[in-house]
Amino acid sequence: MTPDGAIVMGRWILVMLLVLTGTVHGQELPNASLSKGTWITFAGLGTGILADGIATRVLYQRHYDEINPLAKPFVHAGVPGQVGASLLGAGAIGGVWFVLRRTHHDRAARWFLTSVTASEACNVARQFALLRTSQNWSDVPGTTPYLSGPMRLHRARGVR
């Protein structure tokens, strides 16, 4: 993306945030407490985000790379970057849920939260399946931690 394109995109995001903020403050919401199911769903989402962060870090240390172009810079920044990305993602999900609920779209908010939690759970299951089949290259004889994954595989097989 060109610098001019980034400026235009930033302006559109700012406009959308201002419109959503005005929409949310214009609605009246009774002080209704959250249901037990909503708390459980949020707890499941938080657990999924935590498990996703741990699995991503372990896979990155085993020389797998992040495929999400938005999350890649955060993963490459280390643990603080991943924590930041997880907090940004959780905040965005909570924000969308809050806007839907605040604008009286309770059923859409419930479905949104459930679908995001289910997709996070599927992603974590996929990552744990990758963890089971991946190999920690630092334990393979004949490899050094300074070689990339394919070079380590070459050296471990005895090919020079």
pLDDT in tens, 73-97: 888 898 999 999 999 999 999 999 9
The per-residue pLDDT for range 50-59, each reduced to its tens digit, is 999 999 999 8
Going residue by residue through the chain (160 aa), what tens digit of pLDDT does each one get? Answer: 556 666 777 777 777 777 766 666 555 656 667 889 899 999 999 999 999 999 999 988 888 888 888 888 888 898 999 999 999 999 999 999 988 888 888 899 999 999 999 999 999 999 999 888 877 655 555 555 554 455 444 555 555 5
Q: Work out the burial of residue 82: count CB atoms within 10 Å of its CB; fewer than 13 is exposed, 13-18 middle, 19 or more buried.
A: buried
pTM: 0.67
CA separation for the pair 22, 108 (Å, rounded): 20
Q: Which two tokens stand for residue 8?
A: 């235009």
User: 159 — phi, psi (to 5°)?
Assistant: -85, 130
